[in-house]
Chains A and B, each alone.
Chain A
């Protein structure tokens, strides 16, 4: 593999000898990141971003309405869906503003909401009869934002029913079918803590609840973070594609120049040559990400707590894009094709996958369609780290998808790559 490394080093040297490449690698991406960042920041406004909580009221009584009012009072930063979804569609519900339990749970899985609070039918009746009643809290435990919602639910449940209203808290992944903890001991312990907490809150000044909730600064998203936190990973992903898709043109040039053919006629295996070329473009992709991320750091973007997870998403995306470039390169013959295809690919995959604006502001079918773009998966990972306090666990799925796609593309590329 020594020769693959030598090939990559030589290719990188050739790349950097062309000063024009530095403009494409540094100047343009940084300018675009700033411009798009300002645009997205203005879009988000200066108000702290509100955390969505879906509320499904199956009871529809005065008491259940009181519960919801209580939630609102407990924490004003919560957007209670569908009730708070005004003109601006704060809840991202689209035209159909009704929220069934099934739809709410889907939204939870898709991370379009942070929690679902289910008020069961018979809530008022049972409460008045003095029977225990469960308000069910569904959460995706991957999201830290649940804490403020959970605390609000607990607080209200505590206030309303004292010891009679128990919050059955489903502290598990939202896509599992159970609605409560299945381990009886854990359930008991959890409910116990909820009781205690409820009692404590009940005895305390309700204002204390509000204080506790607002003391979580990481849930407050500034417009700076909303803007650059979107544009840095977004433009980063897009320019990684621009840079890496440059391989399409260069590979054709190298065949025209006969430098690839010359390598094949030397005692170097085809595998080493291909590995060297892949390493070159993967490295350039990583450099491109680092350039934009460094700019992001200078712009004051908070990259979250888990830098390892950030690196995992970044490397998985770059690998996927590199593999895609090499797979596509086997289909192209001319330099003109290469230039237009790389432009076309980058300029469709980027907005489709949410590189220009967050995907949750586009219609649902576009969100679904966007999943074909590797950018969408990368942005899932990046946004969970930059906005939702995510970690290695939360980026696992998007990274795995990107790596699987990379595997498929590489398999195609290795089989069809042309050396002559």
Chain B
């Protein structure tokens, strides 16, 4: 397999205004192969954007380097960047310009002009399905439409490689579906290599040939979805919603000790990790082999502790479980 992107020992330390240092990325090694969709899956603040920024020439790494198609991003940035399309996490567009004006301008920045530019812009507008809105200002678009223009800009020069940094953030389910389909089409119809970052395990699971799980600036696991799920074995996860009732460590310990097949029990309190997440309810997350069988005993223990369980959900092994297995924390979606 041909390597498209090679990342070696990449690290970034930010210096805050107050003088303290933030190690956003702590030494990442990574190979992305030609024609694959590689997902970087990790929670907020894991270092996904910082990594993308370094391997696209925006940020200078504190240590390490990356090559794109053999060109070092630090030493031959222009050659490296020519091969690459980037879709940043932010909607990096001029809001008062029309969709077409945005695409035309960024197309010129990729070195396109004249007829080639016009054709390319037309094709992209077709691809993102915004031909009929091309003369409207981007600021009048819905979130999903802006996201599509944002993606379109990264495709103008028909790159072999595209980075997409959380391209579905803040869009409705329908638009999300559309964007995921777009990624699949890029891979299947154009044979493009895609580096996709997300904090949503379903996305990584659906799109990726391979996944790297990133947490606290480090890749803690990497492989195909199948490989990664193997790591957690056959464990199911049980989600017991408890509302805002307190769950003591004692209860968790009792679950782990008394229920056969349980390997782990953690409590995820309501409203944790802030942001716009809708986890208004606290959840006890239990990993167990043949989880359904453990259920009656779990409920028993909860009742003994005076905790009323509001709902129960059993999930088959997935990337979420892998993350939980590796970090003891929920990835959250």
CB pair B108–A265 under 8 Å, yes or no, is no
Whole-angstrom distance between the Cβ of B84 and the nearest chain A Cβ: 8
A7 to B110, CA, bound (A): 12
CB pair B153–A262 under 8 Å, yes or no, is yes
CB pair A420–B53 under 8 Å, yes or no, is yes
CB pair B94–A259 under 8 Å, yes or no, is yes
A257 to B153, CA, bound (A): 15
Given the contacts A6-B105, A6-B108, A258-B90, A267 and B82 also touching, CB distance less than 8 Å: yes
- Asked whether any CB of chain A lies closer than 8 Å to the CB of B116, the reply is no
Whole-angstrom distance between the Cβ of B109 and the nearest chain A Cβ: 5
Q: Which residue of B lies closest to A16 (CB)?
A: B96
CB pair B111–A267 under 8 Å, yes or no, is yes
- The SS class assigned to the A binding surface is helix
- In the complex, chain A residues 269-299 whose Cβ is within 8 Å of any chain B Cβ: 269
Given the contacts A13-B101, A419-B58, A267 and B92 also touching, CB distance less than 8 Å: no
The contact of A262 among B84, B95, B96, B106, by CB within 8 Å, is: B106
7 contacts between A and B (CB under 8 A): A13-B101, A18-B96, A257-B91, A258-B88, A259-B93, A261-B58, A265-B88
Given the contacts A261-B88, A420-B58, A267 and B108 also touching, CB distance less than 8 Å: no
Q: Which residue of A lies closest to B81 (CB)?
A: A267
Kindly supply a per-residue 1/0 record for chain A positions 1-38, scoring 1 wherever the CB is within 8 Å of any chain B CB and 0 otherwise.
00100110010011001100000000000000000000
Whole-angstrom distance between the Cβ of B27 and the nearest chain A Cβ: 21
A259 to B109, CA, bound (A): 12
Given the contacts A6-B109, A18-B96, A262 and B101 also touching, CB distance less than 8 Å: no
The list of the 10 closest CB pairs from A to B, nearest first, reads: A258-B92, A258-B90, A262-B92, A265-B56, A267-B81, A265-B86, A10-B105, A17-B96, A266-B109, A267-B82
A6 to B91, CA, bound (A): 21
A178 to B95, CA, bound (A): 66
- Asked whether any CB of chain A lies closer than 8 Å to the CB of B142, the reply is no
Looking at A257, A262, A266, A268, which has the most chain B CB atoms within 10 Å of its CB? A266
CB pair B92–A257 under 8 Å, yes or no, is yes
Question: Which residue numbers of B lie inside 8 Å of A, CB to CB?
Answer: 53, 56-59, 78, 81-82, 84, 86, 88, 90-97, 101, 105-106, 108-111, 153
Question: Which residue numbers of A lie inside 8 Å of B, CB to CB?
Answer: 3, 6-7, 10, 13-14, 17-18, 257-259, 261-269, 419-420
Residues of B within 8 A of A7 (CB): 109
Q: With A13-B97, A265-B86, A420-B58 given, name 15 new contacts (CB 8 A).
A: A10-B94, A257-B90, A257-B91, A257-B92, A259-B92, A261-B90, A261-B92, A262-B88, A265-B56, A265-B58, A265-B88, A266-B86, A266-B110, A267-B82, A267-B111
Residues of A within 8 A of B94 (CB): 10, 14, 257, 259
A389 to B58, CA, bound (A): 53
Q: Which residue of B lies closest to A5 (CB)?
A: B108
Residues of A within 8 A of B90 (CB): 257-258, 261
A261 to B109, CA, bound (A): 13
Whole-angstrom distance between the Cβ of A48 and the nearest chain B Cβ: 52
A269 to B96, CA, bound (A): 25
The contact of A263 among B78, B96, B109, B111, by CB within 8 Å, is: B109
Whole-angstrom distance between the Cβ of B93 and the nearest chain A Cβ: 7
Given the contacts A6-B105, A258-B88, A14 and B97 also touching, CB distance less than 8 Å: yes
Q: Which residue of A lies closest to B17 (CB)?
A: A333
Given the contacts A13-B101, A14-B94, A259-B93, A264 and B58 also touching, CB distance less than 8 Å: yes
Whole-angstrom distance between the Cβ of A270 and the nearest chain B Cβ: 9
Q: Which residue of B lies closest to A264 (CB)?
A: B58
CB pair A14–B92 under 8 Å, yes or no, is no
Given the contacts A257-B90, A267-B82, A3 and B109 also touching, CB distance less than 8 Å: yes
Whole-angstrom distance between the Cβ of B117 and the nearest chain A Cβ: 11
A261 to B95, CA, bound (A): 16
Residues of A within 8 A of B96 (CB): 14, 17-18
